[in-house]
Amino acid sequence: MAVSDWLEIYRAYSGADLDAEMVSLQAGLKGGFASQGSGSVQMARDLAELRDRLRAATRVKGERANRTMAKVARVDFSGTRTADF
């Protein structure tokens, strides 16, 4: 799945769910193996996919932080005079 797909998915997550997902992704990346076998069972993880998902989750978290810090300014020109040309 592309990063843009994960952005859309993570934007629907609540803040707590997004935090939990980021912790899970970070733990998956710290696991240190890309594939592992035990007997007849073979398990593999796509580390690039985990990095893309973590990047998307981080971007969504940043978007939310910037949205709460947005400032609104209102300009009032009612006391100004117009020039007579």
8 A C-beta contact, residue 4 and residue 53: no
Q: What is the pLDDT of residues 25-41, one digit of tens each?
A: 999 888 766 665 666 65
Residues with Cβ within 8 Å of 3's Cβ and at least 6 positions away in sequence, in order, are 52, 55, 56
Domain boundaries, the chain: 3-68
Give CA–CA dist 63/25, Å, rounded.
Answer: 19
pTM above 0.85, yes or no: no
Nearest one of 37, 52, 65, 42 to 1, comparing CA atoms: 52
Residue type, 29: L
Q: What is the pLDDT of residue 4?
A: 83
Q: What is the pLDDT of residues 13-72, one digit of tens each?
A: 999 999 999 999 999 888 766 665 666 655 566 788 889 999 999 999 999 988 766 566
Greater confidence (79 vs 28) lies with 28
Q: What is the pLDDT of residue 55?
A: 94
Nearest one of 61, 36, 60, 59 to 47, comparing CA atoms: 36
